[in-house]
A and B are shown apart, each in its own frame.
Chain A
């Protein structure tokens, strides 16, 4: 394969430009035509500062949503604190009522719910956490969301009359289904990657690095059918050295070595596997030359795994102009949510790390003047059983299904719950084992809530804000058509 420009590379990778992509590209160059007007809902504009980024924070292991957002009211018409406490206090898994951080929820008649205390001021913290953003309308919760093939009632779930997601309650499959937005089959691309497939050419025609950057390696979310992510390491490694080769010190010996290394990339074209490997190495060397700027953040980030990942993302975003990017998608992970045991201490620690890092990132985006251009959102494998496993200090919970997710940023219509209503007429599930929202049945039912909102609906709302053309939605979210609403409304128009 000959050396080629990024643009040619992308054009080639598109399997031939679709009419939609052509239309979008015409937009980009200001060549509006009727076709484009018909197919585009949110035209991209080639104006400076038309920048948008999605940042996925993945809670790996299955975060317990039941202790993430807790009813903190006494209304008897929906599950209240007493209902929550009844299910969890005997085994010491219920959070104390006075520890909850209050949030008011207009969608549920202004009732008060509570966030986990890890989301507020914490010992050793460097900022107030994300809880204060609720009152400022910068954080929203999408509740009772999960993997679905199509809407399913409890009765349909129990009698098997409607397809269920493949392999519920399995880490592997549920992780993949959150990341590829396909609960009905195995697909080897993620929805972040598929957005990139369709948006790279129109949005980043001259981008020096791929649209998607992964801080966690080749995760399914980031891999497209035709585009690949840039995989980079977290801070404290400076951006300028994440792709730099070691052992070269500008001496004649190492300069000759580098020349030979580069020459080796084109030295044998006879094997396609060799060529494909060389292509990746060529790309890495090329990108390393573009990332050699000293972009640095101004806000303090916590020195944690997630803090360093978000810090690195903030640096890349700061370098967006020189990287010639208008749209970016990032992926980072926080591990350790598989709390079969020791959940109280575990979740406190994990949420503190998440909240501190997420708030620092939000503040950094504010400092960069683009808080309304960058949206963070969370995903996880699944939620956990309402009924605890074990008791005392070792208490934990087991694999379940529907969960709560957070969306954070200046463009979020925050301070409320979003998603489809459950059986109780609110988007928050009824906290009763063997109750109307439980996929378990019988006396041993443990409270694994059936989702009322699908991952696709949640993801498509984010993608729409990001600028994915309506015509490209079926490509990215083939099952979205199975659901009534494709925009949950949590992003400001």
Chain B
């Protein structure tokens, strides 16, 4: 990190014109910390050392290793949890905080299976040279262990960059041909002088927009280029939200009144008793809103603290909950937990409104622990599971714990009479739940226990003889119980990893998780749970930033919502006639792809964070939505969206949607060969990572369109990139 101001200074000296300098000077006045400590985006790829045989890894048995870089090692190893070996990488410089969990060592076998080896220690053996001690053993082991079947390939990833892949003999040195696993050539596309200003790599700016917004736009790109990514993130965090005003939806009676029934007045019914207005607002804000990072963060939180229109029948109720998420997106997670717990929407969704001392409900207590805070198993700070002496994961809580939390959460219900938004005959979903003292359990509770536990038990109420005393006890108990959860050591790694998965990459390195968890634990000012600091740490981490990421497991499949919003921002979305902004009525088109916004099928979200691609150890949550049927639907929706636009729907009076390609038309017109157009799209959509084969395939299809039809050429190129997995995986 300490090198960076120097590098930035060099860039300034070389690149800045006087005018640009004045501009930056003016901006610097607004942003006193301008770009001083942006991380070096240029994380080099680690170079895995080979032995005398250039194709074979230099590796030694750790036992007996003398501690330096050997000239030759062993060639054959036995895969086992007891086999400790040491390999060597060079060409990189680690941060002080980076230990063995910053490196991930993979073995790919002739069976086609890939295993991640357990890394144990990291030793600096020379300048920019490190020894990695590892076990020839997959610590997760969900899909078995590597077997002694001869030569396998071994490679290392670090900060999303892949090393060279070398042979390692397991059991023997086989002769079978192994696949060529050399990393994709990292292309730096910092060719334009203007790209140096403020931030070096245009590809990384685009990746940042994909991670922090609902899709890159030319304007945001320009903004980041001018003020630097760190300032842009700060600017985003403080930006007013929302840009598109929340829809104003009255609360309705539980049973639709005659004037608002599906059969007689479907428009009223749809606006009040379905999630339609929330969905439309959500998409409008995603497409046109300025505070993109807050919207994106709130959307991620809505997939962690899930409520759903499947149970929450009124749009006003669901919107009230989304407001809690967006308001707390950069606040403190403790406040978010508290607001979510007392949210009537959550209370209805997970039954806390019906939980009484005589009939306590386990639903909310179970989910707040399992899904909203600490998860099922004790975690190390880097998000890997803690194991007991038998090598088994350690549960965070028992049924008994659930029973005790259930008691804490009893007695709360809707405030239908005495609150600001109480209305006769209408259930109040806008004010927090209130306590009915007679329904609260005043016996003692034993909660989560962990080292230095906060509030591990709550004594029985001694003086609960009046409703007021019971209410006071219940509120104090609730605060204590939430403090007990909030201070559990799992919270940082658990929430940190989930947020990384939603924003950046599905399978972050443990070191990345640990860095973010560290910020969750302490934002630098001894504050725990500061989500503003957490989100910044996620986005500014070296594993998130930098040029082309070559690690084979880097990135995430775009979920349906973001697949569409990214295109709608890349090629500014308008209504079908191109005259007005879109009304955001995209949900009916995205829903068949498996993600109907605000209608999560269950509290477990549209997809589970643990989901592995079947038959592999590839952790990729969004894949749970991808099957043969939805794959075709993705491609078909993109065809309609790109080539034709989505036509207005007569029954719903929607305005439809079309994309604006005017920015690309000049490139299509200027070059009859189509090359300029494809390169422009490559830069815009792919961070200039199209492989030559893919580029040439797309170019052929573009050339099949007469050059007299530049619009169709553009659409052809956009479609072919958009439907490709290369694009659909954000990386």
Contact = CB atoms under 8 A, between A and B. Distances in A.
Interface residues of A, number: 68
Contacts of A264: 694, 697-698, 720, 723-726
Interface in A308-326: none
Contacts of A232: 628-629
Given A188-B610, A265-B725, A271-B729, A442 B358 contact: yes
B616 interface: yes
Contacts of A278: 725
B477 to A, nearest CB: 23
A276 B618 contact: yes
A40 interface: no
Interface string B42-62: 000000000000000000000
B705 interface: yes
Interface string A278-316: 101101100110000000000000000000000000000
A422 B616 CA distance: 44
A47 interface: no
B618 A273 contact: yes
B255 A394 contact: yes
A179 to B, nearest CB: 11
Nearest to B619: A273
A148 B610 CA distance: 25
Interface string B642-675: 0100000000000000000000000000000000
Interface string A332-343: 000000100100
Given A257-B716, A264-B694, A267-B693, A288 B632 contact: yes
Given A188-B611, A247-B639, A268 B691 contact: yes
B599 to A, nearest CB: 12
B705 A268 contact: no
Contacts of B359: 444
A161 interface: no
B616 A276 contact: yes
B603 interface: yes
B604 A172 contact: yes
A427 interface: no
Contact of A260 (B366, B720, B726, B728): B720
A171 B604 CA distance: 11
B187 to A, nearest CB: 12
A252 interface: yes
A14 B611 CA distance: 19
B357 to A, nearest CB: 12
A13 B728 CA distance: 25
Given A175-B602, A272-B552, A272-B618, A263 B628 contact: no
B429 interface: no
Interface residues of B, number: 76
B143 interface: yes
Given A167-B362, A170-B363, A268-B691, A226 B701 contact: no
Nearest to A4: B112
Contacts of B693: 263, 266-268
B273 to A, nearest CB: 13
B247 interface: no
A228 B700 contact: no
A218 interface: yes
Contacts of A259: 697, 700-701
Given A167-B366, A273-B731, A276-B613, A229 B704 contact: no
Contacts of B712: 253
A287 B144 CA distance: 30
A274 B623 CA distance: 11
A253 B705 contact: yes
Interface string A231-271: 11100000000111111000011011101110111111011
Nearest to A248: B639
A217 B729 contact: no
Nearest to B627: A231
B631 A281 contact: yes
A444 B359 CA distance: 9
B720 A226 contact: no
Contacts of A218: 594, 624-625, 627, 630
Given A1-B112, A257-B720, A270-B184, A280 B701 contact: no
Given A272-B553, A273-B618, A257 B704 contact: yes
A238 to B, nearest CB: 14
B557 interface: yes
B632 A276 contact: no
A243 B628 contact: yes
Interface string A198-237: 0000000000000000100110000111111111110000
Given A217-B594, A224-B614, A270 B366 contact: no
Interface string A170-185: 1110011000000000
Interface in B358-409: 358-359, 361-363, 366, 376
A270 B557 contact: no
A58 to B, nearest CB: 12
B183 interface: yes
B545 interface: no
Contacts of A233: 592, 629
A213 B523 CA distance: 49
A15 interface: yes
A277 interface: yes
A242 B602 contact: no
Contacts of B603: 172
A12 interface: yes
A15 B143 contact: yes
Most buried by B among A13, A214, A260: A260
A442 to B, nearest CB: 7
B563 to A, nearest CB: 11
Contacts of A228: 614, 627
Nearest to A244: B632
B188 interface: no
Nearest to A230: B628
Contacts of A272: 114, 552-553, 616, 618
B620 interface: yes
B310 to A, nearest CB: 8
B726 A281 contact: no
Given A260-B720, A268-B694, A273-B731, A217 B629 contact: yes
A246 B631 contact: no
Contacts of B719: 257
A271 B557 contact: no
Given A272-B618, A273-B729, A171 B553 contact: no
B632 A243 contact: yes
B620 A267 contact: no
Contact of B184 (A217, A253, A268, A288): A268
Contact of A280 (B550, B616, B627, B731): B627
Contacts of B569: none
5 tightest A-B CB contacts, nearest first: A231-B629, A256-B704, A267-B694, A277-B725, A263-B697
30 contacts: A12-B111, A13-B614, A170-B363, A172-B603, A188-B611, A217-B627, A223-B614, A227-B614, A231-B628, A245-B636, A245-B639, A246-B640, A253-B712, A257-B704, A257-B716, A259-B697, A259-B701, A264-B723, A265-B724, A267-B697, A271-B552, A273-B725, A276-B613, A276-B620, A277-B557, A278-B725, A281-B725, A288-B632, A338-B311, A341-B254
Interface of A: 1, 12-13, 15, 167-172, 175-176, 186, 188, 214, 217-218, 223-233, 242-247, 252-253, 255-257, 259-261, 263-268, 270-278, 280-281, 283-284, 287-288, 338, 341, 394, 442, 444
Given A1-B112, A227-B614, A284-B632, 7 more contacts: A257-B704, A260-B720, A264-B725, A267-B726, A273-B556, A288-B632, A394-B255
